[in-house]
């Protein structure tokens, strides 16, 4: 089962809950591009939840963080 499907299940289980979907990128390329890309990623997940799992869009908010909240560095191909 996909991660999006798992989120949709939880949202169905808690019908009054809301969720914030955050998008992120690595630190390569121009900042403006990464800001748009990170928001587009979050909006893509929101779209899937709304269109494929019938989650009410008003329950979901999106935010893009570009490379501002890294979980790893880019010193290796994996990181």
> What per-residue confidence (pLDDT) applies to 76?
77
Among the CATH numbers 3.40.30.10, 2.30.33.40, 3.30.1330.60, 3.30.420.40, which is that of 3-64? 3.30.1330.60
DSSP annotation string for 13-75: HSTT--EEEEE---S-S-HHHHHHHHHHHHHHHHHHHHHHH---GGGEEEEE-TTSS-SS-SS
pTM: 0.87
Q: What is the pLDDT of residues 17-40, one digit of tens each?
A: 999 999 999 888 999 999 999 999
Give, rounded to a whole angstrom, the gap between the first and last alpha carbons of the chain.
25
Rounded CA-CA distance 21/24 in Å is 10
Helix, strand, or coil (residue 77) = coil
Q: What is the pLDDT of residues 29-75, one digit of tens each?
A: 999 999 999 999 999 999 999 999 999 999 999 999 999 987 777 77
Q: What are the domain boundaries of the chain?
A: 3-64
Q: Which of 11, 6, 35, 31 is nearest to 23 (CA)?
A: 35
> What per-residue confidence (pLDDT) applies to 79?
67
């Amino acid at each position: 089962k996909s991660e999006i499907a798992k989120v949709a299940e939880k949202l169905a289980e808690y019908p009054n809950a809301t969720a914030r979907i955050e998008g992120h990128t690595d630190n390569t390329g121009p900042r403006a591009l990464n800001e748009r890309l990170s928001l587009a990623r979050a909006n893509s997940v929101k779209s899937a939840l709304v269109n494929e799992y019938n989650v009410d869009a008003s329950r979901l908010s999106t935010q893009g963080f570009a490379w501002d909240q890294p979980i790893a560095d880019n010193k290796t191909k994996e990181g």
